[in-house]
Chain A
């Protein structure tokens, strides 16, 4: 495990070094491909001068709000669809349509509806990230072992208890997998929405950098978004580990 880890890091470092060397020798225009050192410098300057921070904050806020909104809607919607075959029949076509429709094409419409600002970005983020959670929650609620359901009937558990103590608990690994996907998609949604209609945020900054032909800044923002996405993903992973602790203990024991 450790060995692979080092090889993986070495590969990344090697790639960046190669890139640096290639740019210095070949001297392509900095407009097309800036050297890693130039990108790092641009990133550092942006952070040190405080220029980047408002954009980072703005995007992070949009992603967090979008995740909360989309996650809540996705989880609750998943429970409704998973519990009721009737509502599944009625709502599922619309859920699918909401995902098949090119969501990014809706962004201009959202600006018309919600104005320039955080709201359209939050809505777009929520729209993109509610689906995996809804799908995974709804599916996992229907896949509970029938014998366990019979056990809960035998113990005269209420519908609510059966839902929370059995179905949601059993579905937790799959629900948390949905959360991880949602977290990754949330950044895509927010950045793209900012491309189209925002004056602030990392997506808007990329567009601004493109306008002023500041390619190193574009790369710097790209690096920032990647790092932020990773941080969010790691957070979702640790949340999952915390919630599924008994499962984790067992898995570790089995590995030995």
Chain B
């Protein structure tokens, strides 16, 4: 269903190499093409060091590809732009700002915060279960709550495209599954397209409409997850779910 729909985020034969020592060049991304449709939740899965974080940074404009093309809504990506949100591996909050000011940071950097924007931020915090904490400081929050603030900050401008780099990797299983559920609900209500990086197979199947497996700098397997929405935690224990996990696992093992 994805290929014939309007292309929203397009990566075409993207290549990137980090300069190594002397003559050696480390090819990290070696010709990746990836198309994401509007409202699509796309997971990119792979082992550590396979180049998935580099690919995400390329897509977000934080790195420039050596060859190939990247476009968002038909416009070439030359750097970060306001249509993108980014959630990092760690929450990366500013400790000296309150939770609310952290969420409003993307707006505050580009002008005065309007009352309506403040309301919108409060609404987001409410949806993420942080209603009572707008005036706390990040170090006073738990790890899960900090991740929620980071998500609220990425979504405060309602960007059509959201990039996430293993945002839940350091959380415990229960907190993680709660966050996955809330994230899905939020992105669906806002119609956000997501490119989500993870090394957790179950996480990818639970969240994604499409999963790409990345191995040694190339995409080696694609899977469409046609499980029904809304996805409830009980889905994790069904045979359908496990069959897809097994397929992905095989794809990751098979290509080594």
Contact = CB atoms under 8 A, between A and B. Distances in A.
A155 B96 CA distance: 18
A250 interface: yes
Given A246-B137, A250-B137, A253-B140, A156 B109 contact: yes
B62 A250 contact: no
Interface string B59-70: 010100000000
Interface size classification for chain B: 20 to 34
Contacts of B84: 154
Interface stretch (B86-94, B114-122, B212-220): B86-94
Contact of B92 (A151, A161, A169, A247): A151
A253 B106 CA distance: 29
Contacts of B81: 156
Nearest to B139: A250
B96 A153 contact: no
B80 interface: yes
A148 interface: yes
B96 A246 contact: yes
Given A153-B80, A156-B80, A249 B137 contact: yes
Nearest to B88: A147
Nearest to A152: B109
Nearest to B97: A246
B22 interface: no
Pick from A145, A156, A254 the residue with the most CB of B within 10 Å.
A156
Interface of A: 145, 147-148, 150-157, 161, 165-166, 169, 246-247, 249-250, 253-254
Interface of B: 60, 62, 79-82, 84, 86, 88-90, 92, 94-96, 105-106, 109-110, 137, 139-140
10 contacts: A145-B92, A147-B90, A151-B88, A153-B62, A155-B106, A156-B109, A161-B109, A169-B94, A250-B137, A250-B140
- Report, nearest first, the 9 A-B pairs whose CB atoms are least far apart: A154-B86, A250-B139, A154-B80, A246-B96, A147-B92, A157-B109, A155-B106, A151-B92, A246-B137
